[in-house]
Structure 1
Amino acid sequence: MVAAREGISLILSEKQPIRIDDIYKFRIPLEPSLHPDGKQVVCTVERMDKKAKTYYTNLYITGTNGRSLKQLTFGKRNDHSPTWSPGGNTIAFISKRETASQIWLLPMDGGEARPLTKLPRGSVSDIKWSPDGKKILFLFHPLGKEVKIDKRGKVETPVYRHIKEIWYRLDGQGFFDSENAHVWVANTKSGAAKQLVYGDYDDMLPCWSPDGKEIAFISFRHEGWRFRTEEQEIYRVSANGEKVKTVNTPNGPKEDGLSYSPDGKTLAYIGHDQPYKGWGVVNAVLNTVSIIGKNHQVHGKNIDRTARTLTLGDITPSFLSTSPIWNPEGNKIFYGISSDGRQHIVEADLKTGRAKIITENNTVVCTWSADAARLTLAYNGASLESPDELFTLNLSTGVTKQITHLNRKYINGKIYSAAEEVAFKNGRQKLMGWLIKPPNFNPKKKYPFILNIHGGPRCQYGRTFYHEMYVLAQAGYVVMYTNPRGSQGYGEKFAKAIEGKWAEPAMGDLMAAVDYAVSLGYIDSKRLGVTGGSYGGYMTNWMVTHTDRFKAAVTQRCVSDLSSMFGNSDVGWDMSWEFGGAPWENRESYLKWSPMTYID
């Protein structure tokens, strides 16, 4: 017995705290694609390379029984977007192995992966097999002709840029060039690729009709489209690239998925009909419309949650879209929502228009796919206790099963306290948050405290393994993160609460979180800190100019002056929708809600 106890102590003593450089140890599964027979899942696994200071992704495959995990592609490259052929004998994926991204095919009955296409330099995305497996649909954005390449094959930075549009760059993507993303198809035998759609517009979210004769996609093919970012329309084009037809739908954003019904007569999409209310103010919902633009219907309003994946994390992906998935009978659709710090898959009944959550209570799904019979869904998901893994959901029984354990060795070697979900109030308003305590926590001690505020503003924190928060807790802080009013995931009224007045009632809710934490008895009220990024940086700035309770603050990639954000950030000009015009049209509002105004 003594030896056994000593062994247990030895095992515990070998566990290490969570460190900032653990980011190089995480293995994050992404983009699951379920085999048509539902027995295997192919996905990408992302890792960060310390020496190269970049991320790499390779393909992996595993059984839906949780066995036989196998790596399919290797090397320091980015293989991504895997998708099974209709017959289940080939995997198509995108890879950039020289200077240009191409579609590759990997035969699963033996043989090496081979490039299918020979496209010029540019970016490939949204690959989808035709129903008969003879073609692959994709988006292709060729490199702008004005872009110069040096002798090493790298893009040269120009001496100057001639900016002609108000929206000319995007953080994480860079400056836009003169080309556009358009719908293409490639022959799966010869690799011959053909552009189907043309024009000075971008196309999005293409999908095949069930008979393979046409393709639907989303775009906005009108003058000033770069500025009119919430007026997308649905279009149809034949698989041979004949005339593009418009599908009449209510005006509004359509950015999160598009799919045909099994009989090919109806289209489902995610969006809403209230453009220019401010980003994230209005819930995105499931819509259906006939392919000739009639019988438009809205589904799932009964749950009052946005049909977008807006849960923020530093290893869990955000802002991903999965197109609506129809059942074989065409009377139900599966899609995703953000709700109460979770992300759920819901089932919409097209006869009643109502939707219900079908995933377990604490689920955070990111992207998902279905087998051909719609009996099983596979998804990559997050949890408070561990970095992301793959799961399956049996649509008949409702049973969820974790099928990968890519990060089990890492977790088993760490000592930490998993985040605790907490509930508190600001007056009558119910609020939700999460607390992380330092390892070896002692409730009789007094700990310094950090409040971490999310960006967006209309996003949410949730039940994810948030590496940054655990690193701060390991340093001896009690860390709290919460979703004040203005966050998404708690209904449209909650998200609208800060419309045109970003700081309130958000500050009151955030200070209620601080008061709640102090009331627990183990927080040192004289050692309070606050931090956040983007909108979280904005609120950090606002709080330190409106209260003296915090002894330290770190504002990250912040907003301090709304007028300068309007003119200098990538998409700041869209604030005119929320703040009643441009800064020169409503100067008083921009000054009132800018933290910079209140610096002594």
Structure 2
Amino acid sequence: MTQDTTADTSTRPPTPFHDLDAFLEVGRLSGLVLSGDGTRLVTAAQSLGPERTGYVSALWEVDPTGEQPARRLTRSAKGESSPAFSAGGDLLFTSARPDPEGKPDDDARAALWCLPSGGEARVVATAPGGIGGLLTASDADVVSVTAPVLPSAADLAEDGELRTARKDLSVDAIWHTGYPVRHWDHDLGPDADRRFATSVAAAEGGHAELRQLTGAGRQLDEAGAALSPDGATLVTVWTVDDPGAARRGTLVAIDTRTGERRTLVDDPDAEVASPVVSPDGRWVAYVTETVTSPTDPPVVRAAVVALDGTGEPEVLADDWDRWPTSLTWLPGSSGLLITADDDGRGPVFLLTFDAGPGTGPVTVEQVTADAATFTDVCVAPDGSAAYALRTSYAAPSEPVRVDLAAFVASGPAGEREPVPAVVLPSPVVAPELPGVLTEVETTAPDGARVRAWLALPAGASASDPAPLLLWIHGGPLGSWNAWSWRWNPWIMVARGYAVLLPDPALSTGYGQEFVRRGWGAWGDKPFTDLLAITDAAESRDDVDETRTAAMGGSFGGYMANWVAGHTDRFRAVVTHASLWALDQFGPTTDHAYYWAREMTPEMAREHSPHRYVGQIRTPMLVIHGDKDYRVPIGEGLRLWRELLADSGLPAADDGSTVHRLLYFPTENHWVLSPQHAKVWYAGVLAFLAEHVLDVPEGEGDRVLPTTLG
């Protein structure tokens, strides 16, 4: 919830996690941008809409000095997002809010808006399919955006005519000439993003004309991009087709005046992502990820290439055994701030060039001391401080300042001590937790160290131990290192559970070998790691080893299915958006070529949970959304039918069963709408209550302050 000093708190629950309606009302931050002069920070804060069926985003200003409270900048029913500062200091954003100088349009798409300091917001540019991908140049009045355009349209005007014709004739057919055809929860096409350029000044007295830089094609799907400081060059990921209906990201530079395109990086053995141009305009830093094979997991590194195309790309810190997740240039182009998963956290690291970019040796040092993960890093123009959103399982995202000057002054390179971040006044009040967060670690059978976060109820003790919920993360290349609204353990903690959040083999932040341990063999080391860390948690006197459950989503759902077929130590298993029959999943997932790179048919057959359905003797709750294209609904439907027909705990002759299916016809890989999220949590808690807390059958929802409805 946003700041409100007048709100009545007399009827509120002990914490927002004790009541699902209160949980939905907690405000959520995303994104952080800094003005060119370093005096203004802007973030987006989401709040529950008046009808409680969706979230609305507004832009808020945060004081970089930490002296003033956060100040709301925008307000509309449609919301505002994707803030960016122009070279002149104006705040740009995208929104589908009504244009005060235009005609009312209930179907309006997102437009580009400008909010001058001390002025009223006005529309800069529009496109028939909406505008996104906002980029600004730091030193020139150049703006670039993306807009989806139908393939046969030569320009935005023709695109508008074609869209009107399709709508009037109720045509939604899509003609495909390549792969893929779906992504996450939506069909690809018939339109595709193109890049455009314009300026704020061009909108004086009307809407600015968008100058088209790229043509038809799917090369810009999910493409990271950046503008050079002078605005003359757009650097963007450019997706190319590879054999086997595969795709791969390359890096190109596009002249923003002529649209001329030249290739900077095209490595047949690696993907390119997240380009950023140096402040001196000479270099592009980016993330490179090797193309995988069934025997080789990805290797993720930072790299640089000259913007003028001279010289070869150079991988940075190849001996640093961490995977970069974001890159931010220091002023003067003397180094990079890098975020990377690390031991259940995501610190900020400083990479400095010993003799300048493209010259060889570099030094990497950890900057932040917090047990937290940092995102959206931006740097003050004098390099004295960095700003970011900080998150962990102890708190959701909040704006912070990192004292880079103090870090640099603490000693010579390689000997400096990490510094704690300073929290800035936020638009969102951090929720009080219903318990405490600690860590657990153990040694796996092969000698590897395995660690986890453990969220415990405040009253858990040897005399009153808490039932244990093993919650397995998705990915599988990921880590339980950042707050999640979708997978929030504190709701379970508020009901008395101890929640174990482990990072088994394949998790990021523990080095390349830790990923390799589980590569192509999901049912091996990831499974034994999970059992080992569960044993360690159960050995605590504040945990009740006789009352346990396991759950997970996506890859975590796969592991939940695997757990169910390989042990009966848990009283209940919850599996969300889960992989069940790997031979079926592989060709039907939205990007099948990724899967084909990782597993051979033999590997998939050996590690497919469906082969062990006869060994499942644990009640299971199956959850799936029909719009899930990453793990198609067929996985959930087949799992459900085979549980009832072929498991070791089948349906009775009269059709009754201890298993349950929670189906969402309009949700995707995640359950995103607020009221469906409420149903999801309530359903999971009811199922667990019945089997773990011994609530009578069918009465699990009675332990909740709110019912399934």
Measured against the shorter chain, the TM-score band is 0.7 to 0.9
Q: Give yes or no for the alignment of 1:371 onto 2:374.
A: no
TM-score by length of 1: 0.86
Which of 178, 182, 189 is the aligned partner of 1:169?
A: 182
In structure 2, the residue matched to 1:592 is 606
CA distance in 1, matches of 2:585, 2:50: 33
Query: For the structure 1 residues 280 and 539, does the alpha-carbon distance in structure 2 shift closer, same or farther, using more than 3 Å as the test?
Result: farther
**Any idea what SS the aligned residue of 1:281 has?**
coil
Which whole-Å CA distance do the structure 2 matches of 1:494 and 1:155 have between them? 55
How many aligned residue pairs are there? Answer: 560
Partner residue in 2 for 1:235: 252
Shift of 1:295: 3.5
1:491 to 494, 505, 511: 511
CA shift in 2, pair 1:64/1:440, >3 Å: same
**Whole-Å Cα distance in 2 between the matches of residues 227 and 395 of structure 1?**
46
From 334, 338, 342, give the equivalent of 1:339: 342
1:401 is aligned, of 408, 422, 439, to 422
Match of 1:281 among 297, 308, 327: 297
C-alpha distance in structure 1 between counterparts of 2:257 and 2:24, whole Å: 46
Q: In the superposition, relative to structure 1, how do residues 83 and 225 fare at CA in structure 2: closer, same or farther (>3 Å)?
A: farther
Q: Equivalents in 1 of 2:42, 2:213: separation in Å?
A: 29
Q: What do the CA deviations read for 1:12-33 (whole angstroms, capped 9, x no partner)?
A: 9973462333332222222111
Match 1:359 to one of 355, 362, 368? 368
**Whole-Å separation in 1 of the counterparts to 2:372 and 2:123:** 37
Q: 2:585 maps to which residue?
A: 565
Instruction: Report the CA distance shift for 1:79/1:500 in structure 2 as closer, same or farther (over 3 A).
Output: same
Q: Displacement of 1:489 after TM fit?
A: 1.3
Q: Amino acid of the residue matched to residue 594 of structure 1?
A: S
Structure 2: distance between partners of 1:395 and 1:226: 47
Distance 1:433 1:279, change over 3 A: farther
Q: Which amino acid aligns with 1:327?
A: L
Asked whether the equivalents of residues 265 and 313 of structure 2 are also in contact (C-alpha less than 8 Å), the reply is no
Give the counterpart of 1:326 among 323, 326, 329: 329
Taking a change above 3 Å as real, the CA distance of residues 17 and 219 of structure 1, as seen in their structure-2 partners, is closer
Specify the SS of the correspondent of 1:422.
strand
Partner in structure 2 of residue 425 of structure 1: 443
SS in 2 for 1:471: helix
Q: Is the 8 A contact 1:149 1:155 kept in 2?
A: no
CA distance in 1, matches of 2:245, 2:422: 44
Query: 1:225/1:214 Cα in 2 relative to 1: closer, same or farther (>3 Å)?
Result: farther
- Alpha-carbon distance in 2 for matches of 1:155, 1:208: 40
2:597 paired residue among 566, 577, 599: 577
Deviations along 1:480-529, one digit per CA (max 9) or x if unpaired, are 11000111111111112111111210111100111111111233333221
Does the alignment pair 1:15 with 2:30? no
Q: Counterpart in 2 of 1:318?
A: none
Change (3 A) 1:155 1:396: farther
Contact 1:300 1:354 (C-alpha < 8 Å) held by counterparts: yes
Mapped partners of 2:20, 2:164: distance in 1: 36
Identity %: 21
Inter-partner Cα distance in structure 2 for 1:162 and 1:371: 48
SS in 1 for 2:22: helix
Post-superposition offset of 1:335: 2.3
Task: Give a deviation string over 1:180-224, Cα, whole Å, max 9, x none.
Answer: 222210121221210112242323333222333222222034x55
Distance 2:13 2:554 in 1: 38
SS in 2 for 1:339: coil
Match of 2:198 in 1: 186
The change in CA–CA distance for 1:292 and 1:480 in structure 2 (over 3 A counts) is same
Q: Give the SS at the match of 1:563.
A: helix
1:537 and 2:538 aligned: no
Distance change (3 Å), C-alpha of 1:170 and 1:269: same
Q: Deviations over 1:287-310 (max 9, x none)?
A: 0112315142211333311112xx
Give the match for residue 480 of structure 1.
Answer: 500
Question: Shift in Å at residue 11 of structure 1?
Answer: 10
Aligned to 2:639: none
Q: CA deviation at 1:52?
A: 4.7
Indicate conservation of the 8 Å contact 2:137/2:228, yes or no.
no
CA deviations 1:252-283 (Å, max 9, x no partner) are 444532122333332211113x2133799323
Q: What is the letter of the counterpart of residue 375 of structure 1?
A: S
Change (3 A) 1:288 1:150: closer
Name the counterpart of 2:570. Answer: 550
**Secondary structure of 2:347's partner?**
strand
Q: Which residue of 1 aligns with 2:123?
A: 115
1:126–1:469 CA distance, 2 compared to 1 (3 A): same
Give me the whole-angstrom Cα distance separating, in 2, the residues matched to 1:361 and 1:23. Answer: 26
Alignment check: 8 A CA contact 1:32 1:43 kept: yes
Letter in 1 for 2:397: D
Partner of 2:434: 416
Looking at structure 2, the residues matched to 393 and 36 of structure 1 have their Cα atoms a distance apart, in angstroms, of 18
Give the superposition deviation at 1:70. 0.8
Whether the 8 Å contact between 1:365 and 1:380 is mirrored in structure 2 is yes
Q: Which of 126, 145, 160 is residue 134 of structure 2 equivalent to?
A: 126
| CA contact 1:44–1:59 (8 Å) conserved in 2 | yes
SS in 2 for 1:527: strand
Name stretches of at least 5 consecutive residues in structure 2 with no aligned partner: 1-8, 98-104, 153-158, 203-207, 355-360, 408-418, 615-709
Q: Is the 2:436–2:457 contact (alpha carbons within 8 Å) kept by the matching residues of 1? A: no
The aligned runs of 1:15-34 (5 Å cut-off) are 15-16=14-15, 18=17, 19-34=19-34
Partners in 1 of 2:45 and 2:168 — Cα distance? 26
C-alpha separation in 1, matches of 2:320 and 2:195: 34
Alignment of 1:74-473 (within 5 A): 74-88=75-89, 90-97=90-97, 98=105, 99-108=108-117, 110-129=118-137, 131-133=139-141, 135-142=142-149, 158=172, 164-172=177-185, 174-190=186-202, 191-203=208-220, 204-221=223-240, 223=241, 227-230=245-248, 232-272=249-289, 274-277=290-293, 281-290=297-306, 291-308=308-325, 322=326, 324-351=327-354, 352-398=361-407, 400-408=421-429, 411=431, 414=432, 416-427=434-445, 428-464=447-483, 468-473=488-493
Q: Secondary structure at the match of 2:586?
A: helix
Point out the more displaced range, 362-371 or 489-498: 362-371
Q: Judge conservation of contact 1:249–1:296 (CA < 8 Å) in 2.
A: no
The alignment yields a C-alpha RMSD, in angstroms, of 3.0
**Aligned partners of 1:306, 1:83: CA distance in 2, in Å?**
27
Aligned mates of 2:123, 2:385 — CA distance in 1? 31
> Normalising by the residue count of structure 2, what TM-score does the alignment of the two structures yield?
0.73
SS at match of 2:585: helix
Is contact 1:150–1:156 with CA below 8 Å preserved after alignment?
A: no
Quick one: distance in 2 between partners of 1:119 and 1:452?
Answer: 44
Asked whether the 8 Å contact 1:299–1:355 carries over to 2, the reply is: no
| Contact residue 35 and residue 41 of structure 2 kept, 8 A | yes
How much does 1:225 deviate? Answer: 8.7
**DSSP 3-state at the match of 2:533:** helix
- 1:536 to 1:187, Cα distance in 2 relative to 1, 3 A: same
